[in-house]
Chains A and B, each alone.
Chain A
Amino acid sequence: MSPQIEILLVAIIVSIACALPGVFLILRRMALMSDAISHSVLLGIVVGFFIIGQVDSPILLIFAAGTGVATVSLVELLHRTQLVKEDAAIGIVFPALFSIGVILVTRYANNVHLDQDVVLLGEIALAPFDRVTILGLSLPRGLVVMTLILVTNLSCIVIFYKELKISTFDAGLATALGFSPVFIHYGLMSLVSITAVGAFHAVGAVLVVALMIVPPATAYLLTNRLSIMLAISSLVGTISAIMGYFVAAKMDASVAGSMASMTGICFLLTFLIAPKRGILAIIYRRFRQKWEFSQTLLLIHLVNHEGKENEAEECNVNRINQHLSWNQTFTQNVILYAEKKGSIQIEEQILRLTNRGREIADQAFAR
Chain B
Amino acid sequence: MSMNQSSSAIEVTDLTVAYQEKPVLWDIDMNVPPGVLMAIVGPNGAGKTTLIKAILGLVRSASGQMLIYGKPYRQQRRIVSYVPQRGSVDWDFPTTVKDVVMMGRYGALGWLRRPGQQEKKLASEAMEKVGILNLADRQISQLSGGQQQRVFLARALTQDAQVYLMDEPFQGVDATTERAIVLLLQQFREEGKTVVVVHHDLQTVSDYFDWVTLLNVRRIASGPVNTIFNESNLRQTYGGRIGFLKTEQEMSNPQVLPEPTL
Q: Is the CB of B115 within 8 A of A224?
A: no
Q: Which of A161, A163, A173 has the most CB of B within 10 A?
A: A173
**What is the interface of chain B, defined by CB distance below 8 A to chain A?**
20, 53, 56-58, 77, 80, 82, 84, 88-90, 93-96, 99-100, 103, 106-107, 109-112, 114-115, 139, 141, 155
The 4 closest A-B pairs by CB, nearest first: A177-B107, A224-B139, A176-B82, A170-B89
Q: Which A151-209 residues have a C-beta within 8 angstroms of B?
A: 159-163, 165-166, 168-170, 172-179
Which residue on A lies nearest to B115, using beta carbons? Answer: A162
Q: B90's closest neighbor in chain A, by CB?
A: A169
Chain B neighbourhood of A172, CB < 8 A: 53, 58, 82, 84, 88
Asked if A162 and B109 make an inter-chain contact with CB atoms under 8 angstroms apart, the answer reads yes
Tier of interface size on chain A: 20 to 34
Cβ contact within 8 Å between A225 and B94 = yes
Contact status B94-A27, CB under 8 Å: yes
How far, in whole Å, are A161 and B109 apart by their CA atoms in the complex? 13
Contact indicator B94/A177 (Cβ below 8 Å):
no
Q: CB-CB < 8 A to A223: which residues of B?
A: 94
Chain A residues in 8 Å Cβ range of B84: 170, 172-173
CB <8 Å contact, A169 and B95: yes
Given A176-B82, A223-B94, A225-B94, A162 contacting B106 (CB threshold 8 A): yes
Does A61 reach chain B (CB closer than 8 Å)? no
A4-32 Cβ-contact flags toward B at 8 Å (1 or 0):
00000000000000000000000100000
CA A228 to CA B111, docked complex, whole Å: 23
A contact residues vs B (CB 8 Å cutoff): 27, 82, 159-163, 165-166, 168-170, 172-179, 220, 223-226, 228-229
| A179 and B106 within 8 A (CB) | yes
Whether A176 contacts B58 by the Cβ 8 Å rule is yes
A-B contact count (CB 8 A): 73
In angstroms, Cα B100 to Cα A116, docked, is: 47
Complex Cα gap A299–B65 (Å) = 65
Interface pair A82/B20, CB less than 8 Å apart:
yes
Docked complex Cα distance between A165 and B114 (Å): 12
In whole angstroms, how far apart are the Cα atoms of A172 and B109 in the complex? 17
Q: Which residues of B sit under 8 angstroms from A159, Cβ to Cβ?
A: 112
Among B57, B94, B114, B155, max chain A CB count under 10 A is at B94
Tell me, in angstroms, the Cα distance from A177 to B110 when the chains sit together: 8
**Separation in Å of the A351 CB from the closest CB of chain B?**
35
Which of A161, A166, A175, A224 is within 8 Å of B94, CB to CB? A224
Please name all residues of chain B whose beta carbon is closer than 8 Å to the beta carbon of A173 when the two chains form the complex.
Answer: 82, 84, 103, 155
Interchain CB contact under 8 A, B107 and A169: no
What is the minimal beta-carbon distance from A331 to any residue of chain B, in angstroms?
A: 34
Tell me the bound Cα distance from A82 to B95 in angstroms.
33
Q: Could you name 16 residue pairs across A and B whose Cβ atoms are closer than 8 Å?
A: A27-B90, A27-B94, A82-B20, A162-B109, A162-B114, A162-B115, A165-B99, A169-B89, A172-B82, A175-B56, A177-B106, A177-B107, A224-B94, A224-B141, A225-B95, A225-B96
Beta-carbon contact of B94 and A178 below 8 Å: no
Q: Which of A162, A165, A177, A229 has the most CB of B within 10 A?
A: A177
**How far is A168 from B99 in the complex, measured between Cα atoms in Å?**
14
Within the assembled complex, what's the spacing in Å between the Cα atoms of A64 and B100? Answer: 36
Closest to A230 in B: B94
CB distance from A174 to the nearest CB of B (A): 8
The CA of A166 and the CA of B93, in the complex, are separated in Å by: 11
- For the complex, what is the distance from the CA of A340 to the CA of B109, rounded to whole Å? 56
Closest Cβ of chain A: how far from B141's Cβ, in Å? 8
Bound together, the chains give a CA A213 to CA B110 distance in angstroms of 31
Distance to closest chain A CB from B81 (angstroms): 9
List residues of chain B with CB within 8 A of the CB of A169: 89-90, 93, 95, 100, 103
